[in-house]
């Protein structure tokens, strides 16, 4: 499998996962009053169960950590699950 590239695309309100330039997944968000709310994560069929959604979650949560004062709220069920499985991000949860 080729390398997955994760990019924040704020004008679209999402993180995008690409492989060789092809879009394979997205993680949608909105930022409201210092809280980034993750609303939906999706990986295209044929790319499921390859860790792509986890890669997007990890990157986006690290970005939130690096933006001083930004808190996280997970509306998306995948993000809720991911946060439960990765307690190192508990301090970010609003």
How many CA within 13 A on the CB side of residue 62? 10
Low-confidence ranges of the chain (pLDDT < 70): 1
Give pLDDT, residue 1.
54
Q: What is the SS3 assignment for 13-44?
A: CEEEEEECCEEEEEEEEEEECCEEEEEEEEEC
User: In sequence order, what E strands does 33-83 have?
Assistant: 35-43, 71-74
pLDDT digits (tens, 9 = 90+) for 5-26: 999 999 999 999 999 999 999 9
The reported pTM is 0.92
Q: Which two tokens stand for residue 34?
A: 């210092």
């Amino acid at each position: 499998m080729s390398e997955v590239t994760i990019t924040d695309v704020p004008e679209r309100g999402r993180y995008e996962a690409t492989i060789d330039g092809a879009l394979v997944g997205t993680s949608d968000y909105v930022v409201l009053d210092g809280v980034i709310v993750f609303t939906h994560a999706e990986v295209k069929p044929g790319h499921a169960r390859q860790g792509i959604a986890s890669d997007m979650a990890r990157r986006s949560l690290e970005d939130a950590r690096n933006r001083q004062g930004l808190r996280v709220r997970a509306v998306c069920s995948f993000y809720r699950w991911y946060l439960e499985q990765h307690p190192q991000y508990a301090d970010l949860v609003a």
